[in-house]
Amino acid sequence: MIGAVSYNQNGSFGRPDNQLSAEQSDTIKATLEQFDPQNLSEEDAKSIVETFKEAGIKPGKALAEHMSELGFDAKAVGELAGVKPPPKPSLKDGSPAIDLQQVVDFLSKSLEEHDTSNLSDEQKQALFSDLKREFGLEEESHLIKITV
């Protein structure tokens, strides 16, 4: 059994679907009507995220689908606003599930920025800490837990 890392084919962030109330749907529409999805600034994205937060609208599939219907990419808006992806769902043992492909992509990108033939132990530990932080793992947790 692999505990902390699990491969997820769909690559989704894993937040359970949440339903939007009619009021929330109206808030989303009224908010997004004020912006051009093709010319969205960082300030615009932050304003959208803050408005949704104040209205109790949480990131999830329902929000992403509704935003898509209105011509907006929820993930792109969140990234532009500096919002981190929601945490991964937990497995039975309490360890977060992580998409292995995302781990590989993160490591590849991080290692491209360094001379990997001369990484010190301190640099390796810093990269490992960055990886754990990126995927919401506790500092003392293991990246891979294998039990038989």
Q: Where are the domains of the chain?
A: 1-12+89-148, 22-80
Count other Cβ atoms within 10 Å, centred on residue 26. Answer: 12
Rounded CA separation 79/2 (Å): 30
- Interhelix angle for 42-54 vs 22-32, to 10°? 160
Q: What are the pLDDT digits (tens) for 43-77?
A: 999 999 999 999 999 888 889 999 999 999 999 99
Q: What are the pLDDT digits (tens) for 5-29?
A: 433 333 333 333 458 999 999 999 9
Contact 98, 4 (CB under 8 A): yes
